[in-house]
Amino acid sequence: MKHIVKIFSLVVAITALWIGLLQSSVIPRSHTCLLPGYFVVSLGCYGLLMVGVGLMNFPTCPQEALLLQEDIVEAKEYLKQRGVDGSSS
- For residue 32, what pLDDT is reported? 73
Number of domains in the chain: 1
Mean predicted lDDT score pLDDT of the chain: 83
pTM: 0.47
**Closest Cα to residue 22, out of 14, 33, 34?**
33
Query: Which residues span the domain enclosing 58?
Result: 2-81
- 37: Cβ contacts below 8 Å, ≥ 6 apart: none
pLDDT digits (tens, 9 = 90+) for 4-44: 888 889 889 988 888 887 788 777 777 777 878 888 898 89
Q: How far is CA 83 from its chain centroid?
A: 43
Q: Is residue 23 part of a domain?
A: yes
Helices 35-56 and 2-23 pack at an angle, to 10 degrees, of 150
Q: Is residue 54 part of a domain?
A: yes
- For residue 64, what pLDDT is reported? 82
Query: Does position 89 have pLDDT exceeding 60, yes or no?
Result: no
Tell me which DSSP letter residue 24 carries. S
At 71, is the pLDDT very low, low, confident or very high (cuts 50, 70, 90)? very high
Helix (H, G, I), strand (E, B), or coil: what is residue 9?
A: helix
Q: How far is CA 59 from its chain centroid?
A: 15
Q: Is residue 33 part of a domain?
A: yes
